[in-house]
Structure 1
Amino acid sequence: MPHSRRFAIGAVLGAALIAVPLTLPAAASIPPPDSGWTTVFADDFTGGANTLPSGSNWIIDTGHAYPGGPGNWGTGEIQNYTSSTSNLAQDGAGNLRITPLRDGSGNWTSARIETQRTDFKPPAGGVLRIESRIQMPNVTGAAALGYWPAFWALGGPYRGNWWNWPAVGEFDIMENVNGINSVWGVLHCGVNPGGPCNETTGIVANRACPGSSCQSAFHTYRFEWDASVSPQVFRWFVDGQQFHSVSQNQVDATTWANMTSHQGYFVLLNVAIGGAFPNNNSGTTTPGPGIVPSRPMVVDYVTVTTRGYGGGTTTTPPTTTTPPGNGGSAYSTIQAESYTQQNGLAKQTTTDTGGGQNIGPAGNGDWALYPGVDFGSTAATNFQARVASGAAGGVSGLVEVRLDSLSNAPIGSFAVGNTGGWQSWRTVPANISGVTGVHNVYVTFTSGQPADFVNLNWFTFVH
């Protein structure tokens, strides 16, 4: 968030304005942590109406910058952050409301808070989850042009320095601009501009909110840092559906160490007005002339939980077993070029983040075998793959996962067509039938056209 400069693909600004509900949005109780997980931070925002959030949990940022830090918070956003309960208040119904306002002279105010703690990270060999249930500002179209709500985390060393971004790391768990029905998940790291995280854009993915739009209903946004697998992996979810991940081996060792070896992260919530990200997603300067004030981001709860050695119910480091064949954990990043057998495929140097090789181009009937992949005792329910395609118009196909035999039915698949080029990469998720144990994994490619339709860089599985 502090330095984002991202562009959306195919974002369309509508003209409709969704009315603000007359009743307060319904709050939900914080869900209990899953078995084996420990809650290390939680705020359910159950204070009285028109009160500020807990000062023991939160710092309220004010003004147009940190003292001595980059102006306009490094993003070009125009609002003045305040500690007024007009901008920041619990509503007495279990929610926190961050409300941007505009005065008669056109000046904007809003609110931004960050956790007192700066040490959120996974225990050694464990997993960190940061989660919130949020309804984005309920406004769309021209009336939303310039809104920029966010739920995110910054590396602890940023506090008091203000100039070591992006090396200290930033996880944008939920970002949205201009009332578009989409959640963006982003990793910022390395150096600016450029570097392994392609700054100032970052390594980014986005998707529409499941079911109801992001603006019209609450959705749950979650980030996971999984240090129980090697290479480690970051994952982003909306309503439990993974839509983005970044593996440790996608960046160099120094970059990874700089963002993971410090004391941990602090969590932030804010609603900005204007700035580079909304500008880049609208093709104009924001806020736009039709923007309306007073549409709050409503936050039900924020939790931070951990699992694994040093946290939760696990008291010893997880054991690692080596499955047969050349396999490894299904939850690590499996490089496509690591197959032991294949049909119709070649290895190519990739320009994707992290370098290395991809396989392809693949067409109907091609396949690759990855033996001895260990899914463990908790079922994997999702498959995701890093793909690119320069296929001609009308040419597409399926990327499928089969277990143990090419003649077995796929346990899951997704369709892919032209992504903008054979090295224009995107991460695509797909649900799969639940899988446990050790299996030979076949990635197969099926199409109704004879032409090649996809390159594959890597894939992984998710519980």
Structure 2
Amino acid sequence: MLYIFATTNNFSGMKYFQLELKRPIFFIALLLTSAFTRIDAQLVIEAEDYSQMKGVQTENTTDDGGGLNVGWIDNNDWMEYKISIPVAGDYEISYRIASQSGGGVADLLIVETLAQKTMLPATGGWQTWSTVQGDSLITLPEGETTIKVKAASGGFNLNWWQLRLVNPADSDNPSAVVITETQTDVHDVYMAWNKSIDPTTVVSGYDILMNGSLFAKTSDTTVTLSKLPPGLEMDFALIAKDLSGNTSDTTFLTVQTDTLPWEITWSDEFNIDGEVDRTKWNFQTGGGGWGNGEAQYYTDGDNAIVSGGNLIIEARKETIGSNKYTSTRMNSSGKGDFLFGRLEARMKLPSTGGTWPAFWTLPTDWVYGNWPNCGEIDIMEHSATYNYGHILGTIHTGAYNHIAGTQKSGGIHIGDVTDTYHTYVIEWFPDHIDWYVDDIHIFTYVNEYKSTEEWPFDVAHHVLLNVAIGGAMGGDIDDNGAWPQQMIVDYVRYYDFKLGENDTIAPEKPANITIDAKGNLANTSWNLAKDNFVVDKYIIYLDDMKIDSTKGTSLQIFDLEPETHYIFSIAAVDEAGNESDTASVAFTTPELTGIAVPGKIQAEDYTQMSGIDTEDCEDTGGGTNVGWIDAGDWMTYTIDVAENNEYRAKVRVAGQSSSGTIVFYGDDDRELTTVNTSPTGGWQTWTSVVTGAFDLEAGIQTLKVSATKGGFNLNWIEIGKSSDMTSLSYLTDKDIQIYPNPFHGEKLNISVPAEFDNFAVQIVSVDGKLVHSQEYDKPNGLIQINNNKLLPGVYLITISSQKSVITKMLSVQ
């Protein structure tokens, strides 16, 4: 058996090949190291494969690999072998032996001349095997030779013996590389050449230098160099090396990657001193942390100026409101929006700890929902605190983002980023995005063609430039460092690839269609269709009739008949109007069922909705809640009512600082009841409100929950018989007394009629901060709140039942 191990530590990883050959065994280990390439020749000779012998016998061996070993070796017994030496040089010898008590001596004779003597120790048994290495090297010529292994002293078994080349005998250089073929495209260079010839040994590999620096190593006679910038001219040098490290003359070749048919269609070269050009840029203003705990306040252009051919964004240590720093965040939304192409900026970055400069993009129209589902491309981010000089390029999507810990990114350490300009680039294609820093490729994100959760990058984005202070990536702020700090931008450019011009190629048809049918509706989804440019929309057919179109990769189909067979079909259409073949899937709707009433309805289990979104819920039980509810938003639910009766609904809600109104509708848009919600002091601070009574008839029907006033989240709705639900009374303003008001002491009294029970009291500051929230069952007419932490100011006290919400003002002095 011949094993050839090709072990590389440069580009190819490790490869194993196994070939069946006749004995003796010949090993070649090809190692590509960072210093040079060499081949180590090893000859393993099975002891029983002698051409002649004296006095020995063979037996079955229990050593690894099985087979036979030579035994019964006594003094002056010997075995002779005919060996073909592949490469002249110095060899190391080792023996695989077993010995009960030791004392054996093996003599190695080359053409009857003693070359080496090796002492063989005891191994503890005739089948207890050990490898013993000779004390010195032996020199062998290339070609056929005769080697004899003789027992100067017996008492050992021999399974195999091995020769390993240590020092090849070679002073000749390989022939120069003769290049036979080159091919280029936008990012790749392919080269092929004839195998170089070495007069003495063999060529072990080739060094490839680009612009004078070692770029790659290979033992093959072809190489493909990838991830190169378009239009880049490169000077290559190829050098062959043999086993001894001798090198050939250098072969030179100049190659240029193909250029893309792009042109600059939008840029700001910052060549006119003064204010920033507001025909190209918008300023975003404000503080509040920007979702990352940042410390700066973004001003309306006060921290940005064009001077000396550069945009200067200045982060200053100055206070506006509760923010101790000021800076700039500017974007090109509506004035520079881009789909595919090359975005490039040349800039210097700030150095003081806490600075977090970024060059990035967001969608202009958030087609796929809120962040991160909308998609974000971070072309350049830098943290002076965590890793000065290290540049990151990152994407955020619904599937891959830092909140979930699944973000995908690449980076490079480039040292000085403050006094030296560097160029930061993405090249954005329909099937991937490449990141470059100073023309060095650092990261590729590939379109998996699954859904917009992985690839929302088929809609136009705009550019953002900003310097944040502190926060998640900015880290600890060096208050005593050098301030102000500047991000200096030489230019920002967009190159249009014009991929869609003269497009006559239709997309591939959508794949991986899934259908979840539920009685009178079906939830459908599919993978993104592949196209040479971009898919604009998907056309949906049901039983060969067009019913809808969508830009996303999912669609709900309503008003289906239960227990009915349908054929769902879909075609992709690109921006040039080319339509793919149709993909079809048959399905059958099941029997119509509904959520049982009496029972609990999870808010996210709607059959239809308008305007809302879902998020992880921190209420008891976890799960998901519905959020982002504005006036006019709604959800419908299919419910199965057990019997004609009067019902009430308990609604689980949370709201930051505003009250809301929910209206329930039955079949035929019949209004059932209305309930008001109060602010709870947080989007995940939950409380329950109960509606008034309403009538429902038995059977499957549609319940519509609509917001006539938004500003709240919804977790669940529990519907029960009115007689089984807690009955709360109406409250009026005159029923509630709060004293003392103004409040000076430690105990606040709230008086309610003794018959009132089951209501909630909340105290909220005028800036929306919840300072007290509690539900009361039977307070017997008086609530006393011990709170000496109320700071001077004005507060709103809300007392809410299922039928009434009363708000009163409290002055604390």
Richer in helix (by share): 1
Structure (1 or 2) with the greater strand fraction: 2
How high is the TM-score relative to the length of structure 1? 0.49
